A = this chain, B = another copy of it.
Amino acid sequence: MAGVTVGVDVGGTKIQSAALRAKKVAGAYRAATPQTGAADVATAIIESVQKALAEAGAAPTDLRAVGIGAPGQIDREAGTVASSPNLPGFQGVDPVDLGSLVSKGLAGVPVTLDNDVRVAILGEWRRGAGRPFKDVLGVWVGTGVGGGLVLDGVLREGHGAAGEIGHTIVKPGGRICSDGRRGHLEAYAGRGRMEARARSLVKRGHSTVLFEIMKKKGRTRVSSGVIAEALEREDPMTLTLIEDAVWALGVALASAQNLLDLEAIIIGGGLGDRLGTPFVARIAKEMEPNLFVPDRPPVMLTTEFGDLSGAVGAATLVGG
């Protein structure tokens, strides 16, 4: 059975691979990201590719190529990663040659790299929820809020920074964003900034079950799962944080819609996937009063592949 490509989504905590045959997911594999340096990360990626291949019932010689989505600064030509704050061994400004490290461990198959959020949005657009559309905005709500913009069937590059919907100004002078500026969408809807706000509210005497759930789950961060559980328990602080996030997404996405006249918006990312359809429906409702052409709103979608979006998209980098 020839012709398998594998896509790998490399994150700070997990490495997710998917093996694609005839453009369909035939196998997948997930492992923890080693916290011990670049060489170990490369080895873990290689193992993950081999396991995904095996899951797909494919032999190592069936592997045609590997695509990798990674956070940080990616040089696609060189196949390198640099300045990736959450990826152990890749934090420095000196580029690490991840592409050739992985290629060497896999009998020299071609390896192509790209940015993790771009790749995930490519996956959903090419193979998932975005398939029917030519004009799509992907909004990845996770630790931060990333984005990717497909217009007339082409993923917009700009000079490399197009699609940064997370840095739309929703409230001038508002909450501080991860980039130090104020009032950005990410300051309200990014999981990282939500956690920071929750910690600051607790310091000021407010109560929440968020950190109790976090400890119970053995986590050190307020993950999407922690937020989802707090929501189920109707924790007032979490309800308000999500209300703020929905409000901010409604403002930013309505402005983007008014400027771009899109066909569809896909909400993905860790938090987006976890909160799913009800979250997307609330965002759609929040956008409504702000739309310039209210009788033709964009189709609002969840992802089809969930946390496999990135791995599937990475595979499409190499024809998967």
A155-171 CB contact bits vs B (8 Å, 1 = yes)? 01111111111011111
Stretch with Cβ within 8 A of B (4 or more), from A43-51, A203-211, A251-259: A251-259
Cβ distance A287 to chain B, nearest Cβ, rounded Å: 10
Instruction: Report the copy number of this chain in the oligomer.
Output: 2
**With A151-B151, A151-B156 in contact, is A290–B169 under 8 Å at CB?**
yes
Q: Which of A123-147 contact B (CB under 8 A)?
A: 135, 147
Q: How far is the CA of A151 from the CA of B159 in the complex (A)?
A: 12
A259 touches B168 (CB 8 A): yes
A169 touches B255 (CB 8 A): yes
Most chain B Cβ neighbours within 10 Å, of A147, A158, A262: A158
B158 touches A262 (CB 8 A): yes
Q: How far is the CA of A296 from the CA of B164 in the complex (A)?
A: 14
A258 touches B167 (CB 8 A): yes
**With A159-B296, A169-B170 in contact, is A164–B251 under 8 Å at CB?**
no
Indicate if A172 sits at the interface (CB-CB under 8 A). yes
Indicate if A281 sits at the interface (CB-CB under 8 A). no
A258 touches B152 (CB 8 A): no
Contacts of A151 in B (CB 8 A): 151, 156
Indicate if A201 sits at the interface (CB-CB under 8 A). no
**With A259-B147, A259-B168 in contact, is A135–B158 under 8 Å at CB?**
yes
Interface residues of A (CB under 8 A from B): 135, 147, 149, 151-152, 154, 156-165, 167-172, 179, 181, 247, 251-252, 254-256, 258-263, 289-290, 292-293, 296
23 A-B contacts, Cβ less than 8 Å apart?
Answer: A151-B156, A152-B154, A157-B261, A158-B260, A158-B261, A159-B261, A159-B296, A161-B258, A161-B293, A162-B261, A163-B261, A164-B259, A164-B292, A167-B255, A167-B258, A169-B170, A169-B255, A170-B172, A172-B247, A172-B251, A179-B292, A181-B289, A255-B255
